[in-house]
Homo-oligomer: A and B are copies of this chain.
Amino acid sequence: MGIRRAGRPRLHGMQRSGATPEEQILDAAAELFAARGYAGTSTRAIAETAGLRQPSLYYYFAGKQEILARLVRFLWQPALAYGRQVAAVDAAPDARLYALLSYDIEVLRSLPWNLGSLFFSPELRASEFSSLYEERFQLREVYRGFIRDGASSGVLGLDDPDFAADLLFGLTESVVDLHGGDHGKDPARWGIEVADSGLRLLAAADPSGARAAGLALRASLADSEEIGVSQRSSR
């Protein structure tokens, strides 16, 4: 659904030109949250930055909280949906990991917003957001499952797979922050190179085999990739 190029996930709501009011609101909010923090940003300021009147904002969102929730969801939901697809097909654990990891990073690097600052917003710890954090932990569980399987089947040479899974998960989250620059790599390339690095971190017995099998798995799931992502953003 929608235009798709060269295996790159296309998130609706990521094109700034011709954006809908909803997308303009998300853009404006992301910019302001990053600059002033969530607490320091009013819905009035979001509406003004988006070029809308405040009542128009409330037509699309119940409030600031819902806007934050929508933004933060992009960090976990696409990868969680994809990880579940990957878990449902027949594949080796290292191939599954490669597919999920490269996809996850590609999506994170495709986000037009710098959401790094939202990861640790104290507001996200509030109970209204607990279901959001729940999704984050579910994604971590998907990674853990693949890594445990890989360790027990011997394709990953790990003594403590849960520890390695947390390191890997921390690595995935750290790539959201754009301050380090893009290193001249597009999101798809980021996906490949972080997955290569991640499989090395996980002591993969056959990193190039994992890459080949992981990319084949992604190709076989190409339709799911797209549908998974589009569903997420069109809600």
Interface size class of A (residues with CB under 8 A): 35 or more
**A84–chain B nearest beta-carbon distance, Å:** 22
Assembled-state Cα–Cα distance A39/B123 (Å): 12
Does A166 reach chain B (CB closer than 8 Å)? yes
List residues 12-71 of chain A with CB under 8 A from any CB of chain B.
33-40
Assembled-state Cα–Cα distance A147/B119 (Å): 28
- Copy number in the complex reads 2
Residue contact B170 to A177, C-beta cutoff 8 Å:
yes
26 A–B contacts from the bound complex (CB under 8 Å): A34-B122, A35-B125, A36-B122, A37-B122, A39-B39, A39-B40, A118-B120, A120-B177, A163-B183, A163-B185, A163-B193, A164-B197, A166-B180, A167-B194, A167-B197, A170-B170, A170-B171, A170-B174, A170-B180, A171-B174, A174-B174, A197-B201, A198-B201, A200-B201, A200-B203, A201-B201
